[in-house]
Amino acid sequence: MTQRRRQASIRTRSILAAALVAALPSALAEPLKLNEQEYFSRPGLDVLVFNNYYDGLFSDAKHAGVELIHHGVRTATNGDVRLSPTPEQWDPVALMLDRKVDARTGTVTTRMGYPNEKFEYSIQVSPQGDGVRIQVLLDKPLPKSLQGRAGFNLEFLPSAYFGKSWAASAAQGERHGQFPLYPAGPTSRGADGKPVRMPITSGQRLVLAPEDPQRRVTISSNSGELGLYDGRNQAQNGWFVVRTLLPAGKRGAVLDWTVEGHTLPGWTREPVIGHSQVGYHPAQRKVAVLETDPRSPAPGAARLLRIGADGSETEALSATPAQWGRYLRYQYYTFDFSSVREPGLYQIEAAGQRTHAFRIAEDVYAEAWHPTADVFFPVQMDHMFVNEAYRVWHGRPHMDDARQVAPNHEHFDLFAQGPELDSPFQPGEHIPGLNYGGWFDAGDFDIRTQTHYATVLSMVDTWERFRPLRDETTIDQQRKHVEIHVPDGKPDLVQQIEHGTLALIAQHRVFGHAIPGIVEPDLGQYTHLGDASTKTDGKVDDPNDPDSPRDDRLAFTSNTTALNYGSAAALAAASRALRGHNDALAHECLETARKVWEFEQSREPNLFRVGNTTGGHPDDEQLRAAAQLLVTTGDARYAEAIRALWPKVEERFGFNIPALMAALPKMDDAFRAQVRARAERLRQEMAPMTGENPYGVVITRGGWAGNGAVVGMAIANYHLHKAFPDLFDAEPTLQGLNYLYGTHPDSNLSFVSAVGARSKQVAYGNNRADFSYIAGGVVPGVLVLKPDFPENKEDWPFFWGQNEYVIDLAAHYMFLVHAAQDVLKPGDGKQGGQP
């Protein structure tokens, strides 16, 4: 047999063997066991039972109830009793009353309730067959108000099933079909004329993806018919839903499902080589992190390959990765290739994987911030027509801003109005002078003041420290027109500072103080996807015209102390950056900041607080205002205010480092000594936090992923390194940037869209329904779901906690890139931790 035929025969046998393994009956799989982390598990399948709960801030965040992690991918969630077949984000969810884990019987029982409906129930889950048995237990029959409404839902991730089939079994026989790539019904109309969601199919037994052994799930019902619904018919972020109505007039076990997930025998998750998709400076520390299944063998040798212009490969380094240990659910190893300094293109090969090519070069970070400045921030500009070559990103939106909200109004998205309007306008009245400046806060379209002043402060810091003169955008405030990739002779960063400042100063011109912000009047507008200029008609609402659509945005106008100080800090900083560009605005900003300071110093603080729309901690915000006014004016009274605030802000030192470091050069030696001593303690406090994972950063837990904390701490370290180079190395600053660029759990994607060889291309911008991205946007990153599952979905944009762009994170990112270039300059001391 020739060598070629021998290889073909081996390949054929391998394919047949793989097919036979996939066809093995799943009964050979291990049964699910309740582990110490309180979820059911076996290789290839985990079933979580209310390990995670609905996000109280944003209602249904698609990580709650009964959930499936199938061959390393979370494919199902929200297993719970819901009041409609395809609930939307803001629809009612039950409250968790109790959760009991019985290790002896291997059962998890969760007590839930809808207080408004006076309805309580229990969900009991235990191992059965190749999966779990799910029962809904009632102490008394369904309330009449919930009959025909309450049912048990289990939602399946659409992107996990695109292109796959389903099979349903019922008394009438078996039916088959495919999961639609795009929603296509069915819907009907009820007697009231409203849409009624109809199932794609129904039956007693439903098999999802029968042809795919990695996604095959079988659901059998012993207590009612299963319906398969497409939630995307109602909302683009909807999922495929399997549902059974709860019966009326019954108690006890009113629902009884078996959910089984097929698993591949011997399955292990493929390794991930965490590395920077952008590359590395020759002088910096270079460490790749290998994330492996704990059941997998050690990865063996890792190689760094230098790629020639002709495609040739040269081994630059070979070494056995060092075992780091366990973090969350995976095993980690590190591959240190810091000794390789020769500029060029490289790839890492380890554990059967090979990375995309990346650079080692002295200018590796020089252009990494350009997409954020050139594209992301122009696209986010409110009240402007934004064009890029043949593409109109959006028309001129919200020229009808804004209407006065009513007092004591509780809104969505963390907005609420206090008992006082703090405004000369009456509820519903049009407020002139708010229809210019500002950015869309995130993937939504509101003007959030707290985010705005953080963004302006960060941009000013970038401008003053690094002076980037890049000009790629025409920004015409008179015409309210933006042209991307068309220079106008002015530094883009200064023009963006001006645009954010215009939104802040408008509030002071109209109200005499900062306000929480401007937001859509209803959920219909809030969930708008597409061109922001089509959200409203652009005409001021006429209260005397019954045909006026009443679509103008609402202004929330509470006069809080924290917002005032935060806004004053940004205005004082902007006054410096705008000198020579818009002197009149610069002068107005400084005078306004001074007036705000005097006003807040003369009154009792207004501490009204709602979420993150009414300012940060008042002492922290006052510190920021004092620091920026001190830097701008040199007035000793601001230095005295900082000294007086020190006992209050010292305990939150980590959050206040940028403000303190800005003020430090103008403070006396005694104060500098206090700050240095506190900084030294912080270094000791941070060591165990950064040491709990192999990435050397603090990875936070919660409903919003942690890139903001990673970037914030990297920037704080930069300030401390510049102030106290003998105490703080530059390496944590560079580690924060490497984390963004792909050295993180779950994947090695760059979390900055269009930056790096492989980056986020499906994200939560205002374009999310198109499964696309905005170049330069930065996403929140890896969300750690309790108890141990790191996740960032690249094929499903609608996870806002993982994938939503936010303007202040983008501004901080631009600063961080410049900071990294600064610490890597010769003569900075320890460059990236290298001696």
pLDDT digit string, tens, across residues 621-635: 999 999 999 999 999
**What's the token pair of residue 288?**
């790749």
Which CATH number applies to 272-360: 2.60.40.10, 3.90.1150.10, 2.60.120.380, 3.40.50.300? Answer: 2.60.40.10
- Burial state string for 662-698 with b = 16 or more CB within 10 A and e = fewer than 16: bbbebbeeebeebbeebbeebeeebeeeeeebbbbbb
**What's the token pair of residue 503?**
């939104």
Confidence of residue 9 (pLDDT cuts 50, 70, 90): very low
Q: Which residues contact 57 (CB under 8 A, 6 or more apart)?
A: 414, 611, 703
Which residues make beta-bridge pairs with 804? 764
Task: For 26-261, give the CATH class.
Answer: mainly beta
Query: What's the CA gap between 84 and 660, in Å, rounded?
Result: 52
% pLDDT > 90, the chain? 90
Dihedral of alpha carbons 402, 403, 408, 412, sign? negative
Res. 355: pLDDT tops 80: yes
**What's the token pair of residue 491?**
């530094």
Task: Please name the helix (run of DSSP H) or strand (run of DSSP E) that holds residue 816, with its range, or none.
Answer: helix 807-823
Where on the phi/psi map is residue 829: left (φ > 0), alpha (ψ -120 to 50), or beta?
left
Q: What letter does residue 466 receive in the DSSP assignment? A: H
Q: Which residues contact 296 (CB under 8 A, 6 or more apart)?
A: 268, 269, 271, 331, 351
CB 582 within 8 A of CB 571: no
Of residues 236 and 10, more confidently modeled: 236
Confidence of residue 702 (pLDDT cuts 50, 70, 90): confident
pLDDT of residue 38: 97
Per CATH, 26-261 and 272-360 having the same topology is answered no
Task: Give tens-digit pLDDT for 763-821.
Answer: 999 999 999 999 999 999 999 999 999 999 999 999 999 999 999 999 999 999 999 99
**What's the token pair of residue 105?**
């019987």
Query: What's the CA gap between 403 and 706, in Å, rounded?
Result: 35
Task: Give tens-digit pLDDT for 333-347.
Answer: 999 999 999 999 999
pLDDT of residue 543: 84
Label each residue of 102-153 as H, E or C: ECCCCEEEEEEEEHHHCEEEEEEEEEECCEEEEEEEECCCCCHHHCCCCEEE
Q: What letter does residue 298 receive in the DSSP assignment? A: P
Radius of gyration for the chain, computed over Cα atoms and rounded to the nearest angstrom: 29
Task: Please name the helix (run of DSSP H) or strand (run of DSSP E) that holds residue 738, with its range, or none.
Answer: helix 731-740
Task: Give tens-digit pLDDT for 306-323.
Answer: 999 999 999 999 999 999
Res. 224: pLDDT tops 70: yes
Task: Give tens-digit pLDDT for 439-456.
Answer: 999 999 999 999 999 999
pLDDT of residue 197: 87
Which CATH number applies to 372-616: 1.20.1630.10, 3.30.310.220, 3.40.920.10, 1.50.10.10? Answer: 1.50.10.10
Query: What's the CA gap between 568 and 590, in Å, rounded?
Result: 8
Query: What's the CA gap between 336 and 287, in Å, rounded?
Result: 4
Which residues make beta-bridge pairs with 484? 388, 473
Res. 2: pLDDT tops 60: no
Domains of the chain by residue range: 26-261, 272-360, 372-616, 618-667
**Average pLDDT, integer, range 407-435:** 96
pLDDT of residue 283: 97
pLDDT of residue 738: 98
Query: What's the CA gap between 353 and 102, in Å, rounded?
Result: 41
